[in-house]
Amino acid sequence: MVMLVNKEKKKELIIYFVAILFSVLYIFVGNKIARTNTPELGDGGDMNSIKAKVTEITDRNEDVKGFGITQSLQSIEIEFKAIVLSGENKGEEILCLQTIGDVYENKLKEVEQGDKVLLYPNTQDDSSYEWFLGDYIRLDAMIWLSLLFFLAILVFGRKKGLNTIVSLVFTCLAVFMVFIPSIISGKNIYFWSILTCIYITVMTLIIVNGANKKSLAAGVGCCSGVLVAGIITLIMDKILSLTGFLSDETGRLLYINEDNPIDLRALIFAAIIIGAVGAIMDVAMSISSALQEIGETGSNVTPKQLIKSGLTIGRDIMGTMANTLVLAYIGSSLSIVVLFAAYSHSMLDLMNMEMIIVEMLQAIAGSLGILMTIPLTTITCSVLYKKEV
């Protein structure tokens, strides 16, 4: 018995490290392939920023000018000294300027002593300042919050928590080092988005839960649900006459690779299935895990009873998970929705805007994917677990 347990553990370790090795190869090779024929993009030239820490506020000027009868323009100029934290001039103290005014769209708070900021070089000859405030350093705080998040996962999840972090790292690498470069280089977005979803699903299930019947059932259910969401998206893309031009920013994507322009409609497809794969995988694993437990602990449980139990569990999951997707998509674009709602002439105009329609399509297609995942995962479990009951 002990020998059998040791063999099982060795098998699990071998599969685990094979999954890690495969993931490393996927990221490395995938990045090389995805970056082929990538267009030469500007690196910012003289606009490269530097990190600095504000040491002293040396001057502050405020000017209010009349504009029309009832309107006025306010302009604030703040002169400050800062210590350079990056680049060739690291450690040097420099004189900088922050300009705040009604004509500037990006209104930053007034700089204070101790702030960490991003500075951009002056490109105008009519100013005595070499550097201007561009933004505040926010990444440092997010890194600390991320470390706290990882620590919480390790404390509560222990070994499985560590595996969760590993899978999360590989997921982010797959998106930012393989999938996004493939888009920029003009590759087929439909193919690369499907490949990314398959990789994320297989890698996550094997690393977190191991290569077993539970992972297989969850994988089959997840892939089926994502497939349903993708098919619905393709069908509705034709019916809704989508263009992919959701905002001014999406239009600029066409100029990244003019020889092989990015397919904006395919980008909608990718956003929907990649956005839904996490929630669908969560539902599939929840059902697969619960049914395995029922099959192992229950006496004389038949496949028919497993299906009945799986559908019951799925109904409970369905309502909250559908809400999760809908609220996530609404929350991610809330400011834009509020802006359109405030300035649109009617509710009909608002609800027919392509950006709003795409958000609705994301939520509904993802929810339908979850809905179909429930019976498909349940049926798969009834087949895979029937020998165990």
What's residue 74's pLDDT?
64
Whether the predicted pLDDT of 165 surpasses 70: yes
DSSP class of 45: G
What's residue 46's pLDDT?
47
Where is pLDDT greater, at 301 or 360? 360
| Secondary structure (DSSP) of 325-386 | HHHHHHHHTHHHHHHHHHH-SSHHHHHTSHHHHHHHHHHHHHHHHHHHHHHHHHHHHHHHST
pLDDT tens-digit series, residues 208-218: 988 888 999 99
Question: Considering the chain, what is the average pLDDT of its residues?
Answer: 84
| Secondary structure (DSSP) of 278-296 | HHHHHHHHHHHHHHHHHHH
What's residue 106's pLDDT?
56
What's residue 375's pLDDT?
92
What's residue 299's pLDDT?
64
What's residue 14's pLDDT?
87
pLDDT band at 335 (very low <50, low <70, confident <90, very high): confident
Rg, Å, the chain Cα set: 27
Distance CA 161, CA 206 (A): 14
Whether the predicted pLDDT of 129 surpasses 90: no
CA distances from 188 to 34, 40, 276 (A): 10, 19, 20
* Averaged pLDDT for residues 301-317: 86
Where is pLDDT greater, at 43 or 227? 227
Alpha helices, H only, 126-212? 139-173, 180-184, 189-209
What's residue 56's pLDDT?
92
What's residue 89's pLDDT?
82
What is the residue extent of each domain of the chain? Answer: 2-36+159-384, 45-137
Where is pLDDT greater, at 386 or 271? 271
Half-sphere exposure of 39 toward its Cβ, with a 13 Å CA cutoff? 16
User: What is the domain class of 45-137 according to CATH?
Assistant: mainly beta
Whether the predicted pLDDT of 43 surpasses 60: no
* Averaged pLDDT for residues 280-288: 91
pLDDT band at 4 (very low <50, low <70, confident <90, very high): low
pLDDT tens-digit series, residues 321-331: 777 777 777 77
Q: Which of 290, 293, 292 is nearest to 314 (CA)?
A: 290
pLDDT band at 64 (very low <50, low <70, confident <90, very high): low
CB 221 within 8 A of CB 188: no
| Residue type present at position 131 | W
76 is written with which tokens? 């604030």
* Averaged pLDDT for residues 351-377: 87
pLDDT band at 158 (very low <50, low <70, confident <90, very high): confident
pLDDT tens-digit series, residues 229-238: 999 999 999 8
* Averaged pLDDT for residues 86-113: 80
What's residue 40's pLDDT?
67
CA distances from 126 to 4, 27, 47, 123, 259 (A): 80, 48, 17, 9, 39
CB 291 within 8 A of CB 318: no
What's residue 345's pLDDT?
67
Whether the predicted pLDDT of 241 surpasses 50: yes
pTM of the model as a whole = 0.82
* Averaged pLDDT for residues 70-87: 79
